[in-house]
């Protein structure tokens, strides 16, 4: 893994995969109980306040975190206009698999059991990648995700999977229930009362982060 420290970005890393360079932030507490890789959703990235908030809660629980941008700057700019890249689940999953392979081969991270935290379309990419790397991925958590977009591979996912949905996010609740029925692994659907799609309501994102932390601690440390 090629690492480059930037004073304004703690744990900055530059990752080469799928023919592009992706930028991320890798922070591993000592001792670490596992490593959670974030797969960001539509119009989001490693600088998202929501993602950073969840990552801090996971690190407080003793988990390492890798937040990285699944798209390059040029792709992000194009996606803002077309919206195509964020729904290219195969491409997003391919890049997540590539990053997973880097982490598995790197001396600093290969000892840590990996989990995926996916949001929106990133949740679908996480599930596809988990199906591709069943030995590497120990748990998946989806927050406000679109696991239905990974329908063709859901029965191949081996990692225990937690689906977290806002109680006011009605269309996505049904999409998650449909995906839950297709999963053949250990699974759970949690609905956070009062939360909409982005979990912007007071206390709802913290609830989701706590559920995620408990799930990762249970499955990455056994």
What CATH number corresponds to the domain at position 164?
A: 3.40.50.1820
In this prediction, residue 92 has a pLDDT band, given cuts at 50, 70 and 90, of very high
Which residue segment(s) compose the domain that 208 sits in? 2-220
Dist CA 169 CA 42 (whole Å): 16
Please, what's the largest Cα pairwise distance for the chain? 46
Q: Which residues, 6+ apart, have CB-to-CB distance to 110 below 8 Å? A: 103, 104
Total domain count, the chain: 1
pLDDT at 12 over 60: yes
* Mutual angle of helices 204-220 and 49-60, in 10-degree steps: 50
Q: What are the tens digits of pLDDT across the range 147-173? A: 999 999 999 999 999 999 999 999 999
pTM, entire model = 0.92
Q: What are the tens digits of pLDDT across the range 19-74? A: 999 999 999 999 999 999 999 866 667 888 999 999 999 999 999 999 998 888 78
So what's the pLDDT on residue 83?
Answer: 63
> For residue 25, what is the DSSP state?
E
């Amino acid at each position: 893994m090629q690492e480059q420290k930037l004073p304004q970005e703690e744990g900055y890393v530059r990752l080469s995969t799928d023919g592009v360079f992706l930028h991320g932030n890798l922070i591993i507490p000592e001792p670490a109980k596992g490593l959670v890789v974030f797969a960001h959703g539509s119009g989001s990235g490693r600088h998202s306040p929501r993602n950073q908030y969840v990552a801090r809660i996971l690190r407080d629980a003793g988990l390492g975190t890798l937040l990285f941008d699944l798209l390059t700057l040029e792709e992000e700019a194009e996606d803002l206009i077309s919206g195509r890249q964020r729904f290219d689940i195969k491409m997003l999953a391919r890049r997540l698999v590539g990053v997973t392979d880097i982490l598995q081969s790197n001396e600093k991270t290969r000892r840590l059991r990996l989990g995926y935290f996916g949001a929106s379309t990133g949740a679908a990419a996480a599930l596809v990648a988990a199906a591709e790397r069943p030995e590497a991925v120990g748990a998946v958590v989806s927050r406000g995700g679109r696991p239905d977009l990974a329908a063709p591979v859901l029965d191949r996912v081996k990692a225990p999977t937690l689906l977290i949905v806002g109680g006011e996010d009605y269309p996505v609740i049904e999409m998650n229930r449909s995906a839950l029925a297709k999963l053949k692994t250990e699974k759970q659907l949690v609905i956070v009362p009062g939360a909409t799609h982005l979990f912007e309501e007071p206390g709802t994102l913290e609830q989701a982060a706590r559920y995620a932390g408990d799930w990762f601690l249970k499955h990455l440390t056994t």
